[in-house]
Amino acid sequence: MQQSVLDLAIEKFNNHEFFDCHDILEDTWFEVNKDEKDFYQGLLHFAVAFHHLIDKKNPAGAKLQFSKCILRLKNYDTNYKGINIGKILKAAKENLKKLETGSSEKIKIPHL
């Protein structure tokens, strides 16, 4: 059975392969209908935030990406396409607040 693109992106995220997750979501984002673009972009921004923070040591980039994630996902149901959007939004908001107060060492990466 072939793994869905979304499942593969989530697997990459959970394995802390944030840039690979980004690549998968970016390819998908270009091909989905208008109603789903914000969903895929929001997930993409969430992954890129951790890529900036963990891989590139760039908290300013992470803050920008967490903000974009929140903006893109805030209008989706708590559970959309089997993804817990509420959990992602909560993590994005909490991590953004920690970055804004200089507490980046306390950042938590959720398991999706």
Domain boundaries, the chain: 5-106
pLDDT tens digits for 1-59?
456 999 999 999 999 999 999 999 998 888 888 888 999 999 999 999 999 999 999 99
What integer pLDDT is reported at residue 103 of this predicted model? 77
What integer pLDDT is reported at residue 107 of this predicted model? 86
What integer pLDDT is reported at residue 31 of this predicted model? 87
**How many CA within 13 A on the CB side of residue 21?**
24
What integer pLDDT is reported at residue 3 of this predicted model? 62
Is 0.75 topped by the overall pTM?
yes
80 three-class SS: strand
Domain 5-106 has CATH 3.40.50.2000: no
Q: Which residue has the higher pLDDT, 77 or 45?
A: 45
What integer pLDDT is reported at residue 1 of this predicted model? 41
pLDDT tens digits for 85-105?
999 999 999 999 999 998 777
Phi-psi region of 109 (alpha: psi -120 to 50; beta: other; left: phi over 0): beta
What integer pLDDT is reported at residue 35 of this predicted model? 85
What integer pLDDT is reported at residue 52 of this predicted model? 96
CA-to-CA distance for 23 and 48, rounded, in angstroms?
Answer: 10
